[in-house]
Amino acid sequence: MIPLVTILAILLLAAPAPQPENLGDIGAGEGPVFHPSGYLYFSGRNRITRRDLSGAVSVYRENAGTNGLLFDHQGRLVACESRNRRITRTEPDGAITVLADRYEGHRFNSPNDLTIDSRGRIYFTDPRYGRRDDMEMIEGVYRVDAPGQVTRVLGKDLIDRPNGILVSPGDRYLYVADNDNNTVGGARKLWRFGLRPDGAVDPRSRKPIFDWGDARGPDGFKMDQQGRLYVAAGLNKPNPPYETAGKFKGGVYILSPVGKLLDFVPIPQDEVTNCAFGGPDWKTLYITAGGTLWSLRVDTPGRAAYTRVARLPVVLTTDAGADMDDQWALAHLALSPEFDLRGVVTTHAGASSAESSARVAREVLQQMPLRSRPPVIPGSSTPLRSRTEPLANPGVDFLLQESRRHRRLTVLVIGAATDAASTLLLDPTLAGRIEIVAMGFDRWPEGGDPFNVKNDPRAWQALLDSTAPITVGDTTVTARHLRMTRDRAHELFDSRGSPGRYLAGLLVHWLDQETDLVKRVTGDPNWWPVWDEVTVAHLLGLTTTDTHPRPSLRDNLQFDHATTTARITWITSIDEGRLWSDFTGKLDQARR
- The CATH number linked to 465 is 3.90.245.10
Give the percent of the chain with pLDDT over 70: 96
Residue 304 lies in a domain: no
User: Could you tell me the CA-to-CA distances from 290 to 43, 82, 294, 333 in Å, in that order?
Assistant: 11, 18, 11, 45
Helix (H) or strand (E) holding 487: helix 486-493
Count CA atoms closer than 13 A to 390's CA, side-chain side: 19
Residue 108 lies in a domain: yes
Same domain for 280 and 162: yes
Same domain for 177 and 47: yes
* Residue 315: closest CA among 405, 389, 450, 391: 405
Same domain for 515 and 388: no
**Domain at 24, CATH number:** 2.120.10.30
What's the rounded Cα separation, in Å, for the pair 322 and 486?
19
Same domain for 478 and 488: no
Same domain for 121 and 71: yes
Q: CA angle, 59 as apex, 148 and 236 as ends, to 5°?
A: 90
Q: Determine whether 6 is exposed, middle or buried from the number of CB atoms within 10 Å of its CB (0-12, 13-18, 19+).
A: exposed
Q: Coil, strand or helix: which one is 399?
A: helix
pLDDT tens by residue, 206-252: 999 999 999 999 999 999 999 999 999 999 999 999 999 999 999 99
Residue 410 lies in a domain: yes
Pairing of strands 69-71, 57-62: unpaired
Same domain for 448 and 329: yes
Residue 190 lies in a domain: yes
Contact 531, 538 (CB under 8 A): no
What's the rounded Cα separation, in Å, for the pair 481 and 488?
14
Find the domain containing 508 and state its range.
Answer: 484-525
Residue that terminates a domain, selected from 242, 266, 297:
297
What's the rounded Cα separation, in Å, for the pair 416 and 383?
8
Q: CA angle, 568 as apex, 562 and 572 as ends, to 5°?
A: 115
Same domain for 223 and 153: yes
Residue 76 lies in a domain: yes
Residue 386's DSSP bridge partners are: 389
Same domain for 251 and 368: no
Same domain for 518 and 472: no
pLDDT per residue of the chain (592 residues) written in tens, 0 to 9: 444 434 334 333 444 567 999 999 999 999 999 998 788 999 999 999 999 888 889 899 999 999 999 999 888 999 999 999 999 999 877 889 999 999 999 999 999 999 999 888 999 999 999 899 999 999 999 999 989 999 999 999 999 999 999 999 888 999 999 999 889 999 999 999 999 888 999 999 999 999 999 999 999 999 999 999 999 999 999 999 999 999 999 999 999 999 999 999 999 999 999 999 998 889 999 999 999 999 999 999 999 877 654 578 999 999 999 999 999 999 999 999 889 999 999 999 988 999 999 999 999 999 999 989 999 999 999 999 999 999 999 999 999 999 999 888 999 999 999 999 999 999 999 999 999 999 999 999 999 987 899 999 999 999 999 999 999 999 999 999 999 999 999 999 999 999 999 999 999 999 999 999 999 999 999 999 999 999 999 998 889 889 899 999 999 999 999 999 899 999 999 999 989 988 998 898 888 7
What's the rounded Cα separation, in Å, for the pair 189 and 582?
44
Residue 13 lies in a domain: no
* Residue 115: closest CA among 229, 284, 263, 272: 229
* Residue 497: closest CA among 429, 384, 587: 587
Residue 428 lies in a domain: yes
Same domain for 441 and 326: yes
203 preceded by a cis bond (ω within 30 of 0): no
Q: What is the pLDDT of residue 1?
A: 45
What's the rounded Cα separation, in Å, for the pair 409 and 260?
36
DSSP string, 277-331: EESTTS-EEEEEETEEEEEEE-SSPBP-S-SS--PEEEEEEE-TTSSSHHHHHHH
Residue that terminates a domain, selected from 268, 297, 326:
297
Whole-prediction pTM: 0.57
Contact 177, 235 (CB under 8 A): no
Q: Which residues of 381-418 are buried (b: 16+ CB within 10 A; e: fewer)?
A: bebbeebeebbebebbbbbbebbeebebbbbbbbbbbb
Same domain for 371 and 242: no
Task: Tally the domains of the chain.
Answer: 3
Residue 404 lies in a domain: yes
Q: Determine whether 322 is exposed, middle or buried from the number of CB atoms within 10 Å of its CB (0-12, 13-18, 19+).
A: buried
Contact 323, 531 (CB under 8 A): yes
Residue that terminates a domain, selected from 297, 326, 354:
297
Same domain for 411 and 500: no
Gyration radius from the chain CA atoms: 27
Q: What is the pLDDT of residue 310?
A: 53
Contact 514, 497 (CB under 8 A): no
